[in-house]
Amino acid sequence: MKYSENKKYLCKNIFMSLLSIGTVAFDAIETPFGKTDKIIGGAATYISLSASYFTKNLNLVAVVGEDFPQEYIALLNEKGVNTEGLQIKKGEKSFFWSGKYHTDMNGRDTLITELNVLANFDPIIPDSYQNCEYLMLGNLTPMVQEMVTQRIQNRPKLVVLDTMNFWMDVALDDLKRVLQKIDVLTINDEEARQLSGEHNLLKAARKVLSMGPKTLIIKKGEHGALLINDTDMFYAPGLPLEDVFDPTGAGDTFAGGFIGYLASTNDVSFENMKRAIIYGSAMASFCVEKFGTENLLNLNSEMIADRVAQFARLVKF
Ligand code: AMP
């Protein structure tokens, strides 16, 4: 397809401010295609890198230890991420996560979760972040996610929350409380079942929606994502890819693309969320093609427009 035909999928950037919180971490990953030592990871890292392709007004609140290399922070800054809200704790260690993927790459086992600095994280919102219009509560302690909602004086136009089974296991009550304060929840299919106690996904979605979020996104890995609210439903497929090396961060990259697109268009209607989950899925498709954050570092708007056009061709009939 010629570039000119993809042009309609280029983003019109109107620079609404976006605040992301979540982990900034070290990850050690093992997939059937290889193994990494400690590399940069964390939910907020993937969210910020992904969203950086949509908005230039991007702020981060997170915590790392003294062991976190300055060059990684510089890398986020180079991508336009404001790290004024990134706390660096002297004498402490960064959050560390290690995971191993199954042969089919759909499932994974968490081998290690070391909370370290995250255990006592007190999220401080710099004054310059106070007027954020879009808030992405990336995966981390639900209590910290809630504290952030309380510490932002004016309610943002849209609050999106991502979480995972780990927090459903260890902090379910806190999670249920924060769910009442958000607009959009993103979880995967297994997490939707765990949270609702329902096996059928539609029943699970109805029950999760009754817990607070107005809109739910159920991520189904390589099989795409379902967007659902009380009256509407939309399904975005996963793009079949020849090279899938490492799914780590795909969910966060999806979330960063989703909220980044909404912030760049400043439209939170269901119709626009349909487009946003296609942009989120396009970003996630880049993420899984290489290890860690590698593929998210050198994209450009033409490459993203081209991916989105591939999605459009995949479902057009
Ligand atoms: P995803 O593959 O989208 O679930 O995200 C993987 C990223 O989430 C990795 O970079 C990890 O550092 C981070 N992560 C793993 N476990 C947790 C957790 N319990 N809380 C917050 N972030 C986590």
Query: For the segment 163-208, what is each residue's pLDDT rounded down to a tens digit?
Result: 999 999 999 999 999 999 999 999 999 999 999 999 999 999 999 9
How much distance in Å is there from the Cα of 23 to the middle of ligand 1?
A: 7
At 279-302, the pLDDT tens digits run 999 999 999 999 999 999 999 999
Phi, psi torsion values for 56, nearest 5 degrees: -100, 0
Which pLDDT belongs to residue 2? 55
pLDDT for position 59:
97
Domains of the chain (ranges, CATH numbers): 3-315 (3.40.1190.20)
Q: How confident is the model at residue 14 (pLDDT cuts 50, 70, 90)?
A: low
Residue type, 290: K
pLDDT at residue 12, rounded to an integer: 63
With cut-offs at 50, 70 and 90, classify the pLDDT of residue 152: very high
Nearest protein Cα to ligand 1, atom 13: 42
Question: pLDDT class for 6, splitting at 50, 70, 90?
Answer: confident
Note the Cα 170 to chain centre separation in Å: 21
The stretch 268-274 carries a mean pLDDT of 97
Reported as a single tens digit per residue, the pLDDT across 88-122 is 999 999 999 999 999 888 788 999 999 999 999 99
Instruction: Give whole-number Cα distances, 220 to 67, 96, 185, 188, 224, in Å.
Output: 34, 25, 14, 6, 5
- Note the pTM of the prediction, 2 decimals: 0.95
Q: At what angle do helices 250-265 and 270-287 cross, to 10 degrees?
A: 140
6 phi and psi angles, rounded to 5 deg: -90, -10
Residues 165 and 288: their CA atoms lie apart, in Å, by 21
The burial class, CB within 10 Å (0-12 / 13-18 / 19+), for 150 is exposed
Counting atoms of ligand 1 from 1, which one is nearest the CA of 248? Answer: 2
Measure the CA–CA gap between 213 and 156, rounded to whole angstroms.
15
Atom of ligand 1 nearest to the CA of 254: 3
Taking CA atoms only, the protein residue closest to ligand 1 atom 20 is 140
Note the pLDDT of residue 15.
Answer: 73
Q: Which atom of ligand 1 is nearest to the CA of 167?
A: 19
Give the model confidence (pLDDT) of 39-91 as tens digits: 999 999 999 999 999 998 999 999 999 999 999 999 999 999 999 999 999 99
Contact residues for 150 (Cβ-Cβ < 8 A; gap 6+)? none
